C-alpha cells in the first residue's frame, strides 16, 4: 500500500520529538539524561506486594471495561479527599495511564474541525491528539502571563478564530514543562469564560501531588459538569511503567468516553488494577517522600541557575524547570541541547517541542550527582559561548 493511501491525519503527526531526541542522545553510553519525565523512585513496596498477591490469587481474568469496582470506589474517595473531586465511582473510567485517558477524551468530546485551546508552552501530546483527531489545535502563548492561561487570552483566542468552533481547552496543572501551579484565584477566574462559551475543560492533573509550598486545586471543583479530569499513579506512586490512570467526568459524557476506551484497550491489566486499589487505600502518603526530595532538588537547581544568570519560569510543582537559553549563546534549543550532550554527556530536553525554541527543560527526577553534572555542563557551555568569564 502507498503511504498516501493511509489516514492523512496520522501521516501528518510526527513521532514524539521528545522520544526521538532522547533516543538520539542515548546512543552515547556515558550520557547523563535529565530528559524524560520519569520518576527515579521505585514503586512503593506495599503496592508491589499487592500485585504479587493478585498474581497468586489468579486475578487474571478480564476486568469490567470501566475498571474493577473496588478501584473506581477507591479513586472516588482518594481524589475527593485529596483535591475535592466531585465524581462518584460510576463517573470514573480506569485507563491505561493518563495518556489513554487523554486519547479517549479527545476522541469522544470533539467533532472533526472543532478547535481546542492549548496554553503554551505545552506538553506535546495534546497537539498530536488534536491533529490525529482532525481538530484544530490553537496554541495560546502564555509566556507573558507567567505561563498561566488568563480569561483575556481565552477571549482573544476566540476572537482571533471566528471560523472555528472552540469546543475545548487543556489545563495542565501542575504544568509540564514549566512546573507552574495555578492558584485558586487563577483557576476560578477562568470558570465564567469557559462556562459562557461552553468550552469543555480537559484538566490534566497527573502532577497534582507534586507541589512545593502551594496547594493544588482542581478546576473541576468549580465546573464539574464541564470538566474531564485526567489523573493517575504514574507520578504520585512512581508507577509509569504499570500504566494506570483515570478519567473523571459527568454522567453521559463519561459513559461515551468509557465506550471509546473499551474499543481501544478493553481495560488496564487486571493485576495492576488490584495493586492500584492498595495504592489508593493505603498509599495516601506515598508521594510525600518523593515530594520532599524533589523540592530540595528544585531548590538546588533554581539557586544554581540564578547564580549563572539564567532565567527560568518559577517552578512550584511537577519535576521540571523550564530555563531560557541566554540570548548571547545564539543557539536554538536543539543546537544547544546537542552541544551539551556532545561536549559534556549531559542530556536536557530542547524547548522547541513544547513551543519555545529558546528554552530547555530540565527534569530533576534524577540523582543529585546528575543534577550537579548538569549545572557543571551548563556552566562550561556558557563559558565556551563567552556568556560567562572563565
Ligand atoms: C502533563 C502530562 N500528562 C500526561 C502524562 C502521561 O502520563 P502517563 O504515563 O500516566 O500516561 C505525562 C507524562 O509525562 C505528562 O507530563
pLDDT in tens, 79-125: 999 999 999 999 999 999 999 999 999 999 999 999 999 999 999 99
Q: Which of 19, 15, 37 is nearest to 128 (CA)?
A: 15
Which pLDDT value is given to residue 37? 87
When pLDDT is cut at 50, 70 and 90, the band that residue 354 belongs to is: very high
Index of the ligand 1 atom closest to the CA of residue 172: 1
CA gap 198, 257 in Å, rounded: 19
Q: Is 222 in the pocket of ligand 1 (CB under 6 A)?
A: no
Ligand 1 centre to CA of 162 (Å) is 32
Q: Is 16 in the pocket of ligand 1 (CB under 6 A)?
A: no
- Listed in sequence order, the residues at least 6 apart from 256 whose beta carbon sits closer than 8 Å to its beta carbon are 108
In whole angstroms, how far apart are CA 178 and each of 101, 147, 169, 323, 372? 22, 7, 18, 9, 20
Average pLDDT over residues 349-369: 96
The residue whose CA has the least distance to atom 16 of ligand 1 is 176
**Residue 210, number of CB atoms within 10 A of its CB:** 24
What's the CA dihedral at 179, 185, 187, 190 to 10 degrees?
-130
DSSP letter for 297, please.
H
Ligand 1 centre to CA of 382 (Å) is 32
Q: Is 238 in the pocket of ligand 1 (CB under 6 A)?
A: no
Q: 334: cis peptide before it, omega within 30°?
A: no
Q: 121: cis peptide before it, omega within 30°?
A: yes
When pLDDT is cut at 50, 70 and 90, the band that residue 388 belongs to is: confident
Q: What grid cell was written down for 163?
A: 471560523
Which pLDDT value is given to residue 386? 84
CA gap 15, 326 in Å, rounded: 29
Ligand 1 centre to CA of 101 (Å) is 10
Residue with cell 494506570: 244
Q: What grid cell was written down for 319?
A: 519535576
Contact 124, 175 (CB under 8 A): no
CA gap 104, 96 in Å, rounded: 10
CA gap 354, 347 in Å, rounded: 16
Index of the ligand 1 atom closest to the CA of residue 123: 1
Q: Is 99 in the pocket of ligand 1 (CB under 6 A)?
A: yes
Ligand 1 centre to CA of 99 (Å) is 6
Long-range contacts of 145-152 (CB under 8 A, 24+ apart): 146/180, 146/313, 146/314, 147/119, 147/121, 147/175, 147/178, 147/180, 147/313, 147/322, 148/119, 148/180, 148/182, 148/186, 149/117, 149/119, 149/190, 150/186, 150/189, 150/190, 151/189, 151/190, 151/192, 151/193
Q: Is 103 in the pocket of ligand 1 (CB under 6 A)?
A: no
Q: Which residues pair with 336 in a beta bridge?
A: none
Q: Is 208 in the pocket of ligand 1 (CB under 6 A)?
A: no
**316-351: b or e for each residue (b if 16 or more CB lie within 10 Å)?**
bbbbbbbbbbbeebebebbebbbbbbeebbbbbbbb
What is 120-144 written as a DSSP string? ES--THHHHHHHHTT-EEEEEE-GG
In which element (H, E) is residue 33 found?
Answer: strand 32-34
Q: Which domains does the chain have, with CATH numbers?
A: 3-42+286-384 (3.90.1150.10), 45-282 (3.40.640.10)
In which element (H, E) is residue 350 found?
Answer: strand 346-350
Q: Is 236 in the pocket of ligand 1 (CB under 6 A)?
A: no
Index of the ligand 1 atom closest to the CA of residue 318: 16
Ligand 1 centre to CA of 390 (Å) is 40
Q: What grid cell was written down for 164?
A: 472555528
Mutate to test the pocket of ligand 1, among 176, 206, 216 (most ligand atoms within 8 A of CB): 206
Index of the ligand 1 atom closest to the CA of residue 232: 10
Index of the ligand 1 atom closest to the CA of residue 37: 14
Q: Is 231 in the pocket of ligand 1 (CB under 6 A)?
A: no
Summarize pLDDT for 188-205 with one digit per residue, the tens.
999 999 999 999 999 999
Q: Is 35 in the pocket of ligand 1 (CB under 6 A)?
A: no
Q: Which residues pair with 94 in a beta bridge?
A: 246
Contact 54, 271 (CB under 8 A): yes
Question: Based on the number of CB atoms within 10 Å of its own CB, is 77 exposed (0-12), middle (13-18) or buried (19 or more)?
Answer: middle
When pLDDT is cut at 50, 70 and 90, the band that residue 16 belongs to is: confident
Which pLDDT value is given to residue 17? 87
- Listed in sequence order, the residues at least 6 apart from 298 whose beta carbon sits closer than 8 Å to its beta carbon are 179, 212, 315, 319, 321, 364
Question: Based on the number of CB atoms within 10 Å of its own CB, is 389 exposed (0-12), middle (13-18) or buried (19 or more)?
Answer: exposed
Average pLDDT over residues 327-334: 92
**Residue 69, number of CB atoms within 10 A of its CB:** 13
Q: Is 203 in the pocket of ligand 1 (CB under 6 A)?
A: no
When pLDDT is cut at 50, 70 and 90, the band that residue 71 belongs to is: very high
Q: Is 44 in the pocket of ligand 1 (CB under 6 A)?
A: no
Q: Is 234 in the pocket of ligand 1 (CB under 6 A)?
A: yes
Which pLDDT value is given to residue 387? 86
Which pLDDT value is given to residue 15? 84
What's the CA dihedral at 92, 96, 99, 100 to 10 degrees?
-70
Amino acid at each position: 500500500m502507498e503511504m498516501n493511501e493511509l489516514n492523512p491525519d496520522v501521516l501528518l503527526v510526527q513521532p514524539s520529538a521528545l522520544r526521538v531526541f532522547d533516543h538520539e542522545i542515548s546512543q552515547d553510553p556515558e550520557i547523563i539524561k535529565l530528559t524524560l519525565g520519569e520518576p527515579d523512585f521505585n514503586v512503593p513496596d506495599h503496592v508491589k506486594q499487592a500485585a504479587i498477591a493478585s498474581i497468586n490469587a489468579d486475578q487474571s481474568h478480564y476486568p469490567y471495561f470501566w475498571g474493577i469496582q473496588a478501584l473506581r470506589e477507591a479513586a472516588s474517595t482518594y481524589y475527593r479527599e485529596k483535591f475535592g473531586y466531585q465524581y462518584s465511582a460510576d463517573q470514573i473510567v480506569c485507563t491505561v495511564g493518563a495518556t489513554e485517558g487523554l486519547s479517549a477524551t479527545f476522541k469522544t468530546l470533539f467533532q472533526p474541525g472543532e478547535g481546542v485551546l492549548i496554553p503554551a508552552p505545552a506538553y506535546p501530546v495534546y497537539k498530536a491528539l488534536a491533529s490525529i483527531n482532525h481538530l484544530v489545535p490553537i496554541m495560546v502563548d502564555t509566556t507573558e502571563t507567567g505561563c498561566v492561561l488568563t480569561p483575556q487570552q481565552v477571549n482573544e483566542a476566540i476572537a482571533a478564530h471566528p471560523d472555528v468552533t472552540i469546543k475545548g481547552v487543556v489545563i495542565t496543572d501542575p504544568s509540564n514543562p514549566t512546573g507552574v501551579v495555578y492558584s485558586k484565584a487563577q483557576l476560578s477566574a477562568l470558570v465564567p469564560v469557559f462556562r459562557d462559551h461552553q468550552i469543555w475543560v480537559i484538566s490534566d492533573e497527573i502532577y497534582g501531588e507534586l507541589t512545593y509550598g502551594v496547594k493544588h486545586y482542581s478546576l473541576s471543583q468549580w465546573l464539574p459538569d464541564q470538566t474531564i479530569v485526567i489523573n493517575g499513579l504514574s507520578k504520585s506512586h512512581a508507577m509509569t511503567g504499570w500504566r494506570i490512570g483515570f478519567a473523571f467526568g459527568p454522567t453521559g459524557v463519561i459513559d461515551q468516553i468509557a465506550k471509546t476506551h473499551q474499543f481501544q484497550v478493553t481495560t488496564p491489566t487486571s493485576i495492576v488494577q488490584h495493586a492500584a486499589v492498595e495504592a489508593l487505600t493505603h498509599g495516601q502518603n506515598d508521594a510525600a517522600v518523593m515530594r520532599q526530595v524533589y523540592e530540595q532538588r528544585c531548590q538546588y537547581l533554581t539557586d544554581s541557575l540564578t547564580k549563572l544568570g539564567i532565567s527560568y519560569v518559577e517552578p512550584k510543582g511537577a519535576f521540571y524547570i523550564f530555563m531560557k537559553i541566554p540570548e548571547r549563546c545564539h543557539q536554538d534549543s536543539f543546537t544547544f541541547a546537542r552541544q551539551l550532550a556532545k561536549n559534556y554527556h549531559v542530556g536536557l530536553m530542547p524547548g522547541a517541542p513544547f513551543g519555545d525554541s529558546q528554552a530547555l527543560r530540565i527534569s530533576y527526577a534524577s540523582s543529585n550527582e546528575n543534577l550537579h553534572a548538569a549545572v557543571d555542563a551548563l556552566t562550561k557551555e556558557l563559558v565556551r559561548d563567552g556568556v560567562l568569564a572563565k
